[in-house]
Amino acid sequence: MSNPVLPVLTCLAATSLAVSPALSQSLLPTQGQILLQPGSTALGLAPGEAIAAVALPLDTPVMSREGSILVRGQIAPAGTLDGRALFLGRTSGDVQVVFRANSVDPSGTYPNSVVVQNSTTTGLPIGSGIFAQYRISPRNGYLLFGGQLYDGANPGLDGLIHAPSAGITDGVLYWGANWDGVGAGTLLLLAQQNVTTMPGGAVLATAFGGANILPQQVTSLNSAGTAIFRSILAGGDVVGTTNDSAWIIGTPGALSYFLREGEAIAAAGGATIDNIVVANGTSTTTFNCATNEAGQVLHDETLLVGSGAPPVTAADDKVLLVYNAGVHNLLMREGGVAPDATGAPMAGVLFGAPTISQGFGPTGQAAFHCTLTGAVTTATDDALFATSAGVLMLIARAGDTIPGTGGCVINVINTTSNFSESHGAVFGVTMTGPGVTTLNDSALLIAKPGAALTLLAREGDPCPGIAGAAYGSNLGAQNFGSSSLHRINDRGQVLFGLRVNNAPSPAADYGQAFVSWTAEQGARLQMLGDSVNGVVWGGGTVSASSPTMVSQPCGDGSSLSFHEDGDFVIRAQTVTPSGAFVARGRVGSLQASPSTAPATGGVTQNLAIDLGPAHAGELYIVLATSSGTEPGTLSPIGPQVIPLNWDPFTQLSFDYPNSTAWVNSLGFLDGQGTANAAFVLPPGLFYLQGLLLHHAATTIDLATFTTTGVTEPGSLLLN
């Protein structure tokens, strides 16, 4: 790439400076985009049909790296048989129905049968278990969800068996392809209860369409469309209860065993795997299977007591394994010697049972929590570990000093944590030390291999955007545990939630604050939820019980609800009136809205840049790409990687700044490091339908002639 700076400087005479208005104290209602709420319509619904005005008409959504959002919703007016559907979209104007209850089997396998709303195993068209769990791949538009078939209106034509017996055949798992946000894709049968046959003759006997049989925690789907799920087995080579459950991996027509009960693990002394699934489709011995784009899988298992050499005991039967190229490698084993912060073994200090940190990196890095045993005390037994370049290291431990607290130390590490391969694990703790009370005894931290702890927030500290408010409830009962929603993406940005009260006197509870944090901008209020103080958005007052987000990994290092580009998706509830809505938001230094525009042109995507006061007065330029954001383009005059792959669109945006297409895309940031730009697609380019564009801004310090900052990429789908 030629040096882009000198031609840019020649354009300055024609540049109009931009000054952005101050950001709202509550960011989501001003910057976010509502996808669905009560009264919303979608492509595929009949005239007069819309999202129902009920207490919880929408479930918790999932989102791809490309920005497509998948969610189940309730429809009104609708009958008892067709009131649920899966919806897919990026913004409110492009939402479409993927599949609706009481519609004919979309795979074409059973043309006389319909997929029913069902929360039981009877096969009767009742309940609401259909599509209760669902996944979308990070890229390329693959879907995964369960359902139940019913041929009651045409008994015998398709031969389905609905009776709750060994012969039941109505539970199915659907796999979708080409659901990229433009037009409809295809849906195929991935697996069918007591029909899909595996090598050795066993059939998959799980009721895939039953409610909560396959939650996101026990499924995976990567950008190649490879799915992983678990199932009980019957018939064929099944021997009693010794090998009657398994992890399954593959695509339609190409399923195989990923791991089977009774399989020996060489890295664990030949010990065999205990139950993966029990009869009701759940398990107390295995919970996670996170895959990445390289095809590696992180999974936790229980070994069969008495198997292996030396024989497994109840004190060493829990393991974490990383599957790679057909081999299950041991990440850790309960009872094994734990490493210190350099990766060296700690004499006499042993692993306890692990809890996986949600997140699995593109190169196979992972993290987990456990309570140590052996040469420890109750003041030093809680620990968090992570791998770096394949080396397992201690990253946080009870007794560690927390920076910025005046000498306080970690007391207990909460088991719920979220992990980014590049930036470490975000987790909550309780603490002890000078000045600690019930109103300030918890904190949210980031721990990373080889780095000091980072304090993000402490109970009792001021909450941004709410005058006089502090983190924590007025009873001191709230801390940064599982309810705080803490998520970290692979850019190191964090989302978290906590109740807030008026500090320092704990007399009033203000509600639930939803907060973002970045290294550049610090903490910012995204939204406040409360029946009295909550923001009015999504058709009502946002309640204190929201938002909700999915924490499980999506298959490329981010989570299913918060991605590397800063995009996130939530389901929030409302009161007065009671309801719920699904919204997309964005964390970081570039707000890009809307996220879709017609290929016919004329719709403006607003690009709000906010790199903070550290970049005040610097030159900025907004660039575009149509060929993705990874690996990006290395700046020729600075250390930054601009997250855009250089292509003809990049060259156009570089050659024509401050034009009718790229408005105010070149100029100087104001005193707060902010500016407003826009992209307006010219008319007549309908042949660009389906193209996914990205924009990002980079800054230049004219005194040193170097690039100094870069924003996240913001996406725009032309539909």
Least reliable range by pLDDT among 46-55, 594-603, 616-625: 594-603
Q: Compute CA 193 distance to the chain's CA centroid, rounded to the nearest angstrom.
A: 29
Task: Give 608-639 pLDDT, tens digit per residue.
Answer: 999 999 999 999 999 999 999 999 999 999 89
Mean pLDDT of 64-74: 94
Mean pLDDT of 463-484: 81
Q: Compute CA 86 distance to the chain's CA centroid, rounded to the nearest angstrom.
A: 18
Are 262 and 244 in contact by the 8 Å Cβ rule? The answer is no
CA–CA distance, 38 with 537 (Å, rounded to integer): 12
Residue ranges and CATH numbers for the domains of the chain are 5-22+589-718 (2.60.40.10), 335-450 (no CATH)
Task: Give 192-219 pLDDT, tens digit per residue.
Answer: 999 999 999 999 998 887 666 788 889 9
Q: Which two tokens stand for residue 464?
A: 């941004």
CB within 8 Å of 650: residues ≥ 6 apart: 623, 624, 625, 633, 644
pLDDT at 283 over 70: no
Task: Give 159-183 pLDDT, tens digit per residue.
Answer: 888 766 667 888 899 999 999 877 8
Mean pLDDT of 98-112: 93
Q: Which two tokens stand for residue 640?
A: 């930054």
**What confidence score (pLDDT) does residue 279 get?**
62
Q: Compute CA 584 distance to the chain's CA centroid, rounded to the nearest angstrom.
A: 12
CA–CA distance, 161 with 149 (Å, rounded to integer): 9
CB count in 10 Å sphere of residue 500 = 29
**What confidence score (pLDDT) does residue 212 get?**
65
pLDDT tier at 17 (50, 70, 90 boundaries)?
very low
pLDDT at 88 over 90: yes
CB count in 10 Å sphere of residue 512 = 27
| Beta strands in 41-122, from DSSP E residues, in sequence order | 50-51, 62-63, 69-76, 84-89, 96-100, 114-116
Phi, psi dihedral angles at 266 (to 5 degrees):
-60, -40
pLDDT tier at 83 (50, 70, 90 boundaries)?
confident
Mean residue pLDDT of the chain comes to 89
Question: End-to-end CA distance of the chain, in Å?
Answer: 30
Burial class (CB in 10 A: 0-12, 13-18, 19+), 10: exposed
pLDDT tier at 6 (50, 70, 90 boundaries)?
very low
Mean pLDDT of 312-337: 97
pTM of the model: 0.93
> Of 102 and 5, which is predicted with more confidence?
102
How many CA atoms does the CB half-sphere of 284 hold within 13 Å? 0
**What confidence score (pLDDT) does residue 128 get?**
44
pLDDT at 367 over 90: yes
CB within 8 Å of 257: residues ≥ 6 apart: 198, 199, 246, 247, 248, 249
Are 542 and 534 in contact by the 8 Å Cβ rule? The answer is yes
Residues β-bridged to residue 528: 513
pLDDT tier at 35 (50, 70, 90 boundaries)?
very high
CA–CA distance, 356 with 360 (Å, rounded to integer): 10
pLDDT at 281 over 70: no
For the chain, how are helix, strand and coil distributed in percent, rounded to 5?
5, 40, 55
Task: Give 406-461 pLDDT, tens digit per residue.
Answer: 999 999 999 999 999 999 999 999 999 999 998 899 999 999 999 999 999 999 99
Are 141 and 188 in contact by the 8 Å Cβ rule? The answer is no
